[in-house]
Chains A and B, each alone.
Chain A
């Protein structure tokens, strides 16, 4: 395996993706919304709107919390109304939203790398390079996976700082991140980045343009939305154990999809689509 070639392909693809506004635009805007705008909104909101409105909101929350596992309910013991609202919103409600990022980042760069290269008619020259099919695949996949994980982690880090800073006057201490967030960051996030790229490779063999590939593979976000709805409706709370189990299933799906993608990614089928 020639890692120098693999890194060269990954770096080249990233350089190209950086010049595609449709690719890097969401990579800048979405983290800013998730990591800065939303936490500030949810933390500042209960401190500025009338207490009765918060109380009304918490009426709904009471119902949700009755469905929570006892370990989670304990976190809310002895908290004021405002603290309960902030703890629920920033610590639980927004959590699954962050899982959209690794998926979105890896599908957007992956679409540019796998389909964009064909769309821009540069693929043929690359196929004549003295690399193996697997090296070519790995270079392109890493170009999508590594920034997806890296950007997600940076967004998590910014979110942690923003939540703790904005809620410090309310709690008087640093309370975030909660235990659930660690497996989300280091177990589920990389799994979703890999899921995004392996799905993109499979989709890329059936579409002609970057946009088609991006839109189709971005539909994977539906999976994450199911988690968001589960969390908000109280059906599925993302505890440490739940995140570990979901992560395990995603990694198993990754293994299967990666196997299929590598099998499908070969020069003779790529050249046939030029």
Chain B
């Protein structure tokens, strides 16, 4: 299937600052793609470039096959953007906010009211639809901003720091909504965030950014493999069993690099995850009483900090 976003050597320079410095990536249909990086990494600038708000200084970007710099309105017809601040008209009601943006997005007059009411209901705001937005809580405002981004049912959704400034409960609510959109509705999402946990929970693939450049790109597994070609697995034995004697039985297995034994736990370093079943089978054959097998997972946090440290 054709990629929804195609970015090739994209650049944006502000004076001496290279905000986006030769980025290349693509986003597939139905994918939740993360742009992960600290403040100033170029995430928001990339979102602006891909929506035709800013022209690039170099390279190329295609969104649905269109050039955002020359075809901005047509690109934005197919995208919805949740900005870092909700940017809502606080003197107007939630209904008026959504109806206004629906009109700009070309939702037909006859569909306008049902569409706005549907969105308000989906985001749990129907009871406060006529209240001015200035009376809303931060979490409600963020949900309304998300509803605004989706009012014209865009096939591509950009989320720029969607939970920034929210309390943990509101952030969890917004994240659950995003997960629903991505997983259940097959919505293609480009998520710009510095929140590692959020990216790990929501994204299929991430591009780790720093100073406008992509340091690494791929799924969590791919990134972990690139950084740490070998992996560790902890094998816990029943109480009283000797890890020391069990270790001797797997030392010589192909793919096993290193074995450490301590009380009832074996720490085994293997060349690939695929070796783990062979290790377990070898121990089982020797009647070693295995209680638990726990592969050591790398989190996005591990990957992120390893990459940022490498950059420094």
Question: Do they bind each other?
Answer: yes
The answer, among B52, B85, B87, B88, for a CB contact under 8 Å with A267, is: B52
- In the complex, A242 has a CB within 8 A of chain B: no
Of the A-B pairs whose beta carbons lie under 8 Å apart in the complex, a sample of 7, sorted by A's number, is A5-B106, A16-B91, A125-B88, A128-B81, A130-B104, A130-B152, A131-B104
- Minimum Cβ distance to chain A for residue B78 (Å): 8
The answer, among A2, A12, A20, for a CB contact under 8 Å with B92, is: A12
Establish whether residues A16 and B104, one from each chain, have CB atoms under 8 Å apart when the complex forms: no
- In the complex, A185 has a CB within 8 A of chain B: no
- Minimum Cβ distance to chain A for residue B47 (Å): 9
Establish whether residues A123 and B91, one from each chain, have CB atoms under 8 Å apart when the complex forms: no
Q: Which of A5, A121, A129, A268 has the most CB of B within 10 A?
A: A129
A4-B103, A131-B73 as given contacts; A124 in contact with B87, CB under 8 Å? yes
Name the 9 nearest CB pairs between A and B, nearest first.
A125-B87, A130-B76, A8-B103, A130-B77, A129-B104, A128-B81, A19-B91, A130-B73, A124-B83
With the chains together, A104 CA to B194 CA distance in Å? Answer: 46
- In the complex, B301 has a CB within 8 A of chain A: no
B residues in contact with A4, CB < 8 Å: 103, 106
What are the interface flags for B32-65 relative to A under an 8 Å C-beta threshold, 1 for contact and 0 otherwise? 0000000000000000100111110000000000
What are the interface flags for B133-158 relative to A under an 8 Å C-beta threshold, 1 for contact and 0 otherwise? 00000000000010010001000000
Q: Restricting to A1-42, which residues have a CB under 8 Å from any CB of B? A: 2, 4-5, 8-9, 12, 15-16, 19-20
- In the complex, B101 has a CB within 8 A of chain A: yes
What are the interface flags for A110-122 relative to B under an 8 Å C-beta threshold, 1 for contact and 0 otherwise? 0000000000111
- In the complex, B262 has a CB within 8 A of chain A: no
A residues in contact with B122, CB < 8 Å: none
Establish whether residues A16 and B87, one from each chain, have CB atoms under 8 Å apart when the complex forms: no
Establish whether residues A121 and B72, one from each chain, have CB atoms under 8 Å apart when the complex forms: no
A residues in contact with B100, CB < 8 Å: 8, 12
A residues in contact with B106, CB < 8 Å: 2, 4-5, 130
A interface, size bucket: 20 to 34
A8-B103, A15-B96, A19-B91 as given contacts; A127 in contact with B73, CB under 8 Å? no
With the chains together, A267 CA to B52 CA distance in Å? Answer: 9
- In the complex, B293 has a CB within 8 A of chain A: no
A residues in contact with B85, CB < 8 Å: 121, 124
What are the interface flags for B71-105 relative to A under an 8 Å C-beta threshold, 1 for contact and 0 otherwise? 01111110101010111111110001000110111
Q: Which of B52, B53, B104 has the most CB of A within 10 A?
A: B104
Tally of contact residues, B, Cβ under 8 A: 33
- Minimum Cβ distance to chain B for residue A59 (Å): 55
A residues in contact with B81, CB < 8 Å: 125, 128
With the chains together, A123 CA to B48 CA distance in Å? Answer: 13
A125-B148, A267-B52 as given contacts; A120 in contact with B104, CB under 8 Å? no
With the chains together, A132 CA to B75 CA distance in Å? Answer: 11
Q: Name the CB-closest residue of B to A17.
A: B91
- In the complex, A271 has a CB within 8 A of chain B: yes
A residues in contact with B90, CB < 8 Å: 120, 122
With the chains together, A47 CA to B81 CA distance in Å? Answer: 67
With the chains together, A130 CA to B63 CA distance in Å? Answer: 14
Establish whether residues B104 and A9, one from each chain, have CB atoms under 8 Å apart when the complex forms: yes
Establish whether residues B74 and A130, one from each chain, have CB atoms under 8 Å apart when the complex forms: yes
- Minimum Cβ distance to chain B for residue A232 (Å): 41
Establish whether residues A123 and B104, one from each chain, have CB atoms under 8 Å apart when the complex forms: no
- Minimum Cβ distance to chain A for residue B39 (Å): 15
A residues in contact with B77, CB < 8 Å: 130
